[in-house]
Amino acid sequence: METHRIHPELLERQVRVLVVGCGGTGSAVVAGLPYLHQSLVAWGHPGGLHVTVLDGDVISPVNCVRQPFARSEIGHNKALVLVNRLNLFWGLRWEALPAHLKPGTYISRNYSGDDLRAHIVIGCVDTRAARAAIRDAVGNWSATSYLMDLGNNADSGQFILGEPLNERNRRSRLRLRTAAELFPEICDPALDDATEPSCSAVAALERQGPFINSTLAQHALALLARLFRYGEITYHGGFINLTCGATSVLGIDPACWKRMRSQGGQTSPVRVRPTKRLPH
């Protein structure tokens, strides 16, 4: 397997991170990002992270079972609640945007007028249409170096760090392939499940176990931490199955990428697909 080296400019300035979606997985990622920020600063990084969280959903009673929301927060926007909580606790000035990233809509500024075209985009969405919107957005954002995609079903899932094709990332043999390139079906809106989600907490737990989201988030954050700490990585994702306790890394291997695409992802121990739509 090959080695990927970090884009050097990300070690020389504050890194803008955009998290799209803050449900079960997204909220776990957002909660872990302050630790990554503090680690970067301790390692001598000049600016650490500036994070913007984008989500248009409001908190429902079911969200209080598996996600870090209180019943007193029901009816409030998820992104605003999470970011306000982190800013108060950690003394940060991170941003929240209570909106959805819709297909064909490219948001370039947040409410403070700061550039939203992030260096790192982390997608934690649960529909193929949302993944397609992220794919299209990062393809038009010349600042975006990396796209991290996390997705899961009840007890298994994947995290994949890729370099989306845009002005910054040209075609090359070792460009990290994105989840959308390796598994094109995860961005096909025609395959989304249009059935209405259940409002039952038990049904929600059957759709997703209580710990798959946090497990994926920790693995994804650990990968980013390693990339910044050592400046290089030898894998760019992985697959997790909590049913049997199996994990498998996604190596930096053009031959493997080609084989995965030709076989529709069947070479991985976990069948990659976006999560089913959950109650919001």
Structure tokens at 11: 């070690």
**What is the Cα 155 distance to its own chain's centre?**
18
Distance separating alpha carbons of residues 111 and 97, to the nearest angstrom: 8
Q: Residue 83: which pLDDT band, with cuts at 50, 70 and 90?
A: very high
Query: Strand, coil or helix: what is 235?
Result: strand
Helices 78-90 and 24-42, interaxial angle, to 10°? 30
Mean pLDDT computed over 62-71: 92
In CATH terms, 4-262 corresponds, of 3.40.50.300, 3.40.720.10, 3.40.50.720, 3.20.20.70, to: 3.40.50.720
Domain spans, the chain = 4-262
Q: What is the pTM of this model?
A: 0.88
Q: In the structure encoding, which two tokens stand for residue 163, read together?
A: 């370099």
How far apart are the C-alpha atoms of 109 and 48, rounded to whole Å? 20
pLDDT at 107 over 60: no
The 10s digit of each residue's pLDDT in 135-194 is 999 998 888 999 999 999 989 999 999 999 999 999 999 999 999 999 999 998 888 775
